[in-house]
Structure formats: C-alpha cells, structure tokens
Structure 1
Amino acid sequence: MDLLEEYRRATFFFESGDPLGASKLLEPIVEAEPHNTAVRQLLARAYFNSAQLKRAETQLRALVEHDPSDHYAHHVLGRTLERDGRFREALPHLRLAAAMKQQPEYSEAVHRVEQWLGKSETA
C-alpha cells in the first residue's frame, strides 16, 4: 500500500464531504504510522464529522498526550466532548486552546460552553 497516495485519497474524500470514507482510508495509515500527527488529526476530524465521537476522542487524546501544546487538538477535543454533551470535560480543553491561540472560533466555543453550564446550574 502506498501510504502517501492513500493519505491523498483520504484527504480528497474528507474535503469532498465523505468523512466516513476518509476514516476508512486513514485507519490503516494510522496503524502503520502511529506517530504521524497529520494523519491522526485528519482521522480525528473525519470521526468528528461523521459523529463517531468516541473514536474522535481517542485520536485527539493521543494527539494531546503526544504534544500538550497542540492548541488545535485541544480545541477539537473540547468540541468533541461538547458535542457529546460532556460540557464540564470540554471546558478546560476549550479554555486552554483559547489561551494558547487567539482565534474567534476558540473564544466562541468557550463562551458557548460557559453559557450552557451557567444555564444548567441555575435550572
């Protein structure tokens, strides 16, 4: 198997709106190259976009463990936990990403989860 060609195919699938197809192509690449963060990140995003949240979480936790300063991995992990309804677990990752890199998307996610948690605690 030509891993680079498979990665290119997976990227095409992902960008064409087929995250499930992309994940099927990426899984054996991650197995063959477990330390390739670009492949693992794309696999995590493919899982997230196809609502395979537990699988996305697993990949993202591996990325964060490998590089705790990866703001994007923290953000997507936070978004994955948020999407799974695990707001308290999501917030630290979202805050950390926002502190590491000033991006509107990061700040908006923090605000959204803080708002949700504030509303749930007063309900």
Structure 2
Amino acid sequence: MSDSTHDRWVRAQSLFEDRAYREAIVLLRELVEDPGDVVHALTEVRLLLARSYYHSALLGPAIEAAREVLAADPGEAYAHLLIGRSLQRQSKREEAEPHMKLAELLGGYTA
C-alpha cells in the first residue's frame, strides 16, 4: 500500500520541523510534480520546498522555488523574504533589496 499525497505532505512537514531539510526536499519535489489531493495547497508545498532549499544552503533552487510561489501569489511576503535572504547570502545585496522591502511591506518581515 502506497502513501497518499496527503500522507507525503504531512511527512514532508514533519521532516522540515525536524530539520531534515534534504529529506523533505525529496518529498516536496514529488508533490510539486504530482500534487494529487494536495493540489489546493500547491503554493504551500512550493513555499515549504523553497524554505527547505534555503535551509540546505541550496540558494539557486530556493530562489527558483520562491519565484514559482510568486508566480501563483505575487503578494506572498515570505517568498520575497526567501529570495531576498538568498540573494544576500550570495552577496547580491542590490538585487535583494527590493525583495526585502516587499517582504517588510507585505508581511512585516525584516532583515
């Protein structure tokens, strides 16, 4: 008997909470490719994927995943924060600045 997509989503969230980010990435990538019964939460899945990449120091994929979140929801403050912080960690402060400002304006997140 295989896990349902909902079971994999719950397990990915648990792995993230346990700081097993790379393991969470595997499940989250599968869910993005085949969202099944969590299709209603696809933006949340992508955001958790971006966060998992960020915490794994996979900054390029974190930015890409956060941009996918913004394509679906341009007002998602945390996605802007992830892009901004990822760019800062890459010493791209000027590119990061607009995202950091949007994160603060949209969600109250500060650097």
TM over 0.5: yes
How many percent of aligned residue pairs carry the same amino acid? 37
The secondary structure found in structure 2 opposite 1:36 is helix
Deviations 1:50-80 (A, max 9, x none): 0111111110011112211111111111111
Which runs of 5 or more residues in structure 1 are unaligned?
Answer: 110-123
Pairing partner for 1:19 from 18, 21, 40: 21
Instruction: Kindly report the root-mean-square deviation, in angstroms, between the aligned alpha carbons of the 2 structures.
Output: 1.5
Pairing partner for 2:64 from 54, 58, 62: 58
For normalisation by structure 1, the TM-score amounts to: 0.79
For normalisation by structure 2, the TM-score amounts to: 0.87
Match of residue 84 from structure 1: 90
Taking the aligned partners of 2:107 and 2:63, their CA distance within structure 1 comes to 21
Which runs of 5 or more residues in structure 2 are unaligned?
Answer: none
Q: After TM superposition, which residue ranges in structure 1, 4 or more long, deviate above 3 angstroms?
A: none
Q: Aligned residue pairs: how many?
A: 105
Taking the aligned partners of 1:65 and 1:26, their CA distance within structure 2 comes to 18
Higher normalized contact order (CA 8 Å, seq sep 6+, divided by chain length): 2
- Larger C-alpha radius of gyration, 1 or 2? 1
Shift of 1:17: 1.2
Taking the aligned partners of 2:29 and 2:71, their CA distance within structure 1 comes to 19
Taking the aligned partners of 1:86 and 1:22, their CA distance within structure 2 comes to 27
